[in-house]
Structure 1
Amino acid sequence: METRAVDRGSNRIGHVNKVQYVRRDFKKRKCRKIKRPPIPVVPMALQELFVSCREVFKGPGTVPLPCDVEKLCCILDNMKAEDVGLSSNLQFFKPNVPVKGSPRVTYTTIYRCDNFSLCIFFLPATGVIPLHNHPGMTVFSKLLLGKMHIKSYDWVDPTNSDDTAQPCERRLAKLKADAVFTSPCSTSVLYPTSGGNIHSFTAITPCAVLDVLGPPYSMEDGRDCSYYKEHPYASFPNGDMGLGEEEGEGYRWLEEIEVPENSQMDGIEYLGPQISDI
């Protein structure tokens, strides 16, 4: 799933799929002696995030305490694209660069263990991460670069919300967010049964999103991703709530569907600053 590309013609080393991290220009040297590259310094914010995640996430079935959520949000709110080796000057983030073919999302993993993972998602303009859930997970999302539309829902009845539903089963959900976000902006947090656990991203401009997932997805542990299709509230009768037309605008029926084609992503190697796992 992960690849690395070396463009010898332009002396550029970086990600495939139009995402790159560094640019190195090699000049002729008068002597043949080769200098050893300096040991890269881990940005303080990235290392602090990693250390805090190790302390905060206790494993499956647990949710971070409010004070720990505030701590992680404070770190993420102050993080910049440069902390993970990115810059708005990179070609991928140029708004006028045309996307060839269907826009496809790319992701890279900074770190992963049983308790949490740190990932970056790269969305080209008009790229979409379709409506999906995060069973039993607490997720922090920080928009590092770009402008995107985010829509999120929570189940009206959260009972058994982590159980695997059969395709074509419809459940009532309440709209939690439906807005456009532009970086830099505050970190968003979702919880196993609240905060907009089911959400979708649509990039307006090329975007980079840093996600902290605790615990990460795991099919073996029953935390597989499910996808959903929206239906207006008025599409189906619901005697239990009996909401009027105006009140029903804040609700949708979500129907679980098979994995959609536009959910496919390309995994690439992380080439940014490496964390010190000590």
Structure 2
Amino acid sequence: MRVNGSLADRKGSDQVATGKSTSSSNSKKNKRRQKKSAAMPTAVQRVFEACKEVFADGAPGIVPSPDEVERLRSVLDAVMPADVGLSPNLSFFRDVGTGGPPPVTYLHLYECPKFSIGIFCLPQGAVIPLHDHPAMTVFSKLLMGSMHVKSYDWVNDPLGSDQRIKSSTGASLAKLHTDAISVAPCETSVLYPAAAGNLHCFTAVTSCAVLDVLGPPYDDEEGRACTYYRGNACSNLPGDGLTRCGEREEYYAWLEERGSEPDELVVRGAEYKGPRIVDH
């Protein structure tokens, strides 16, 4: 999902100590912290270092090798809520009771032209509507809670063209990839530029948080804008949108573009207070 503007407050929270003894004490503590940090990088730092290597030669539409995908997935699998400063009692996970849709909170960790790292925090009932990830590889790690995930892939012309199949109204045909509830802890999911559920939507069954890595990140000027969609089950395919392939059921839908800012989606930024990423 695209987060427009500088939502996250990135001001440092360190306080400057006064007094000779306090300053000296803090200096010693900082040195000990630096030595400990150098010896054992935080989980967030390990994610960052893996991203730098996995996406080093990345470009729009270029998928990392299977080994690189598994390497980054393994690093993300090891991240726990406490590693990024999250706990269920934070205000991010409570519906503020405004009468509108529960707001989604975005915590910005890092972004460069190659990749971005961020966390979406959803109170119960919050929804991130169906949206795409053009020419991007996306890693999503459910850190806490349970979430319903529904995802699709575009269906291209069977004659071999890379053009989507479209209806008379301009909607594009998509095939259902996932329609399930994920419960933390679980494995990191990976979607690709043209497969594994490139379009997805999230609904918070309980309060939950998702750590997202996008490679490369959204960029309107580069043609990677985030587009939202609404869908309807196909009525002109066998079985009213249901076909059978052996024992496997396959569902399809016509998806219509909704633009870049759905009314029911409210995203707010908040200061990330977990361990910081150091870009050497």
- Normalising by structure 2, we get a TM-score of 0.78
Instruction: Judge conservation of contact 2:176–2:252 (CA < 8 Å) in 1.
Output: yes
Matches within 5 A, 1:189-200: 189-200=190-201
RMSD (Å), alpha carbons = 2.9
Q: What is the CA deviation profile of residues 145-167 of structure 1, one whole-angstrom value per residue up to 9, with x for unaligned ones?
A: 11111100001118256xxx9xx
Whichever structure has more helix as a proportion of its residues is 2
Counterpart Cα distance in 1 of 2:123 and 2:170? 32
Structure 2 CA distance for partners of 1:63 and 1:253, relative to 1, 3 Å: same
Counterpart Cα distance in 1 of 2:185 and 2:91? 19
Q: In the alignment, is residue 36 of structure 1 matched against residue 51 of structure 2?
A: no
Question: Residue 261 of structure 1 aligns with which residue?
Answer: 263
The structural deviation recorded for 1:5 is: 11
Q: In the alignment, is residue 142 of structure 1 matched against residue 141 of structure 2?
A: yes
Question: Residue 70 of structure 1 aligns with which residue?
Answer: 70
Q: Which amino acid aligns with 2:48?
A: F
Counterpart Cα distance in 1 of 2:208 and 2:186? 13
Instruction: Judge conservation of contact 1:59–1:114 (CA < 8 Å) in 2.
Output: no
Matches within 5 A, 1:116-265: 116-157=115-156, 159-160=162-163, 169-234=170-235, 237=236, 242-245=237-240, 246-247=242-243, 250-259=251-260, 260-265=262-267
Matches within 5 A, 1:46-57: 46-57=44-55
Counterpart Cα distance in 2 of 1:244 and 1:2? 45
The structural deviation recorded for 1:254 is: 0.6
The structural deviation recorded for 1:43 is: 4.9
Instruction: Judge conservation of contact 2:7–2:106 (CA < 8 Å) in 1.
Output: no
Q: Which amino acid aligns with 1:44?
A: T
Question: Residue 3 of structure 2 aligns with which residue?
Answer: none
Instruction: Judge conservation of contact 1:169–1:256 (CA < 8 Å) in 2.
Output: no
Instruction: Judge conservation of contact 1:147–1:204 (CA < 8 Å) in 2.
Output: yes
Q: Which amino acid aligns with 1:142?
A: K
Counterpart Cα distance in 2 of 1:129 and 1:82? 24
Q: Which amino acid aligns with 1:75?
A: V
Structure 2 CA distance for partners of 1:3 and 1:233, relative to 1, 3 Å: closer
Give the stretch that moved more between structures: 47-56 or 79-88.
79-88
Partner SS, residue 139 of structure 1: strand
Partner SS, residue 263 of structure 1: coil
Partner SS, residue 50 of structure 2: helix
Instruction: Judge conservation of contact 1:43–1:273 (CA < 8 Å) in 2.
Output: no
Aligned length, in residue pairs: 244
The structural deviation recorded for 1:257 is: 1.4
Counterpart Cα distance in 2 of 1:118 and 1:272? 13
Q: Which amino acid aligns with 2:272?
A: Y
The structural deviation recorded for 1:49 is: 1.3
In the alignment, structure 1 segments of 5+ residues that lack a partner are 7-12, 15-30
Q: What is the CA deviation profile of residues 79-104 of structure 1, one whole-angstrom value per residue up to 9, with x for unaligned ones?
A: 101111222354544xxx55312311
Q: What is the CA deviation profile of residues 57-81 of structure 1, one whole-angstrom value per residue up to 9, with x for unaligned ones?
A: 1232321111100111111111101
Structure 2 CA distance for partners of 1:222 and 1:98, relative to 1, 3 Å: closer
Q: Which amino acid aligns with 1:270?
A: Y
Q: Which amino acid aligns with 2:278?
A: S
